[in-house]
Amino acid sequence: MNCLIVDDSAIARSILKNMLPIGDSLTLIAECENAADAYKILAANKIDLLFLDIEMPAMTGIELVKAIGDKRPLIIFVSAKRDYASDAFDLNVVDFIAKPVTPDRFLKAVIKAKEIFKNQNLFVPSKKDAFIFIRDSGIIRRIKLDDINYLEAKGDYVKIYQDDKTYAIHSSLKSVEDKLPLEMFSRVHRSFIVNIGKIDTVEGGTLIIKQCFVPVSDAYKALLNKRMQIL
């Protein structure tokens, strides 16, 4: 994976650089000390993984992520300020590491990123809409829509839950939702889409599918009720 390290502290950059080999098969393409340079490097190179400090002069790491938009690499925030953790996670990044960074914590984040990277990419709907194709560890796998119980957004990827298996694909829940047939699936929460035909019970803010609890938020409750055609 091609990496870019962005931090205004030379020491912080140096520490990450030295730990990079533990991550195995991580290639450092560049390092820089501010968000503006990072923006240029990202535009000119294929970067897969970005180690990004948050508090930097002029433009913060969070602002940079918002500026890059959709076509962005996997991101690991590295910051001395824990206050940013929740803001950072709202941006669907892979991980947030608090400084001082230790090798084991670094590796944990990298393993997470590599896992997502491996499962990244395609989500191709079929013409008949009875199944979809996903990219799963390098192979393209066919999944029957009817085997899907529900889907959950997790960071940069979406988890697909079946009875006995789960798959993770690199995508946003929104773009997956756009590709699923409306009559079969319904969004029930910011982070969840369910297969309507698999719902066992709905009670208050929770529904049960195959013994799994899925939250239903108020915003989607009316929509779900409509779709379920309750007698």
Partner 1 sequence: MLKQIDVLIIECNPEDQKLVSAYLREYDITYLIAKNGDEARKLMSSIYFKLLFLDISLPDIDVCQLTKIIREDMKVNTPIVAMTANSILKTKDQVFEAGMNGCLHKPVGRVELVGMLTQFLPEEKLTSGTYDQFSIIDLSYLREVSLGDEAYELEVAEIFIEMIDQDLLSLQAHFESGDREQLSVVAHRTLSTIYIMGLKSKLDSVLRSIENGGIAKGELKRKLDLVLSVCEAAKSEAMLFIHALKAKNHQA
| Chain centroid, CA 87 distance in Å | 15
Question: What's the N-to-C CA distance of the chain in angstroms?
Answer: 53
Q: Is 23 in the site for partner 1 (CB under 8 A)?
A: yes
Shortest distance in whole angstroms from residue 116 CB to partner 1:
15
Shortest distance in whole angstroms from residue 200 CB to partner 1:
27
Contacts of 183 (CB under 8 A, 6+ apart): 196, 227
Binders in 47-86 for partner 1, by CB under 8 A? 55, 57, 80-81
Site string for partner 1, 84-113 (x = CB under 8 A): ---------------xxxxxxx-xx-xx--
Shortest distance in whole angstroms from residue 125 CB to partner 1:
33
User: Contacting partner 1 (CB under 8 A), which of 2, 9, 162, 217?
Assistant: 9
Q: Is 115 in the site for partner 1 (CB under 8 A)?
A: no
Number of other residues whose CB lies within 10 A of the CB of residue 57: 9
Pairing of strands 166-170, 150-154: unpaired
Identify which of residues 33 and 156 has a Cβ nearer to partner 1 in the complex.
33
User: Contacting partner 1 (CB under 8 A), which of 21, 181, 205, 215?
Assistant: 21
Identify which of residues 7 and 48 has a Cβ nearer to partner 1 in the complex.
7
Q: Is 7 in the site for partner 1 (CB under 8 A)?
A: yes
Shortest distance in whole angstroms from residue 96 CB to partner 1:
16
User: Contacting partner 1 (CB under 8 A), which of 24, 87, 146, 183?
Assistant: 24
Number of other residues whose CB lies within 10 A of the CB of residue 191: 16
DSSP for 180-215, please give it. Answer: S-TTTEEEEETTEEEEGGGEEEEETTEEEETTEEEE
Structure tokens, 179: 């590709």
Give all strands (DSSP E) within 53-92, no chain letters: 74-79
**Sheet with 131-136, edge to edge strand ranges:** 123-125, 131-136, 139-144
In the complex, the residues that contact partner 1 under the rule CB under 8 A are 7-12, 14-15, 18-19, 21-25, 55, 57, 80-81, 99-105, 107-108, 110-111
